[in-house]
Amino acid sequence: MTILLLIRHAENDYVKTGRLAGRLAGIHLNETGRQQARAVADKLTGAPVKAVYSSPLERAIETATPIAEALNLEVTLRPNLVEMDFGEWQNKKLKGLSRFKARLLGCASRRENPSPKRSIASARSWIYSPGSTIRKI
């Protein structure tokens, strides 16, 4: 039986900016993140893992590398195993995006319920926005 372990990248300082990272390059693990990656590697040492795949984003590679080293494996980069493409929302403040969403749905405030018709139309445009498709790896 095949078991697939999905391990999200470890901590980085970009998260603290309150911005949506998406596919931004140049975001590296901070010291806590490096410790987290090593802790996962320690837990997996000796496990019957056959391969380690990673997104090409630095934060993912930096998480996968100590795991692969602990298992005497190489990290295999998979370009399609990447963060969702948020398009023009990438690198924007999350707080501002929640206000944008309320305006998009026709709400005077986030607490006001949007009309179902507008919600469905907006949801459709989000689902089919360019670059946001999930592809089979």
Q: Could you tell me which residues come within 8 angstroms of residue 44 by beta carbon, excluding any fewer than 6 positions away?
A: 5, 67, 70, 71
In a 10 Å sphere around its CB, with 0-12 CB exposed, 13-18 middle and 19+ buried, how is residue 73 labelled? middle
The predicted pLDDT at position 72 comes to 97
Catalytic residue flag (residue 9): yes
Task: Please name the amino acid found at residue 18.
Answer: G
Q: Which residues contact 64 (CB under 8 A, 6 or more apart)?
A: 7, 37, 52, 53, 54, 75
Q: Give me 82's structure tokens.
A: 């990447």
Catalytic residue, chosen from 9, 31, 69, 112, is 9
Q: What are phi and psi of 64, to 5 degrees?
A: -70, -30
β-sheet bridge partners, residue 54: 77
Mean pLDDT lowest among 20-24, 46-50, 71-75, 130-134: 130-134
Please give the pLDDT value at position 90: 87
Quick one: 120 exposed, middle or buried, by C-beta within 10 A (0-12, 13-18, 19+)?
Answer: exposed
Higher pLDDT, 2 or 58: 58
Supply the pTM of this predicted model. 0.70
Secondary-structure percent of the chain, ordered helix, strand, coil, rounded to 5: 40, 5, 50
Please state, in angstroms and rounded to a whole number, the distance separating the CA atoms of residues 106 and 109.
Answer: 9
> Is 83 assigned a catalytic role?
yes
The active-site residue out of 28, 58, 69, 83 is: 83
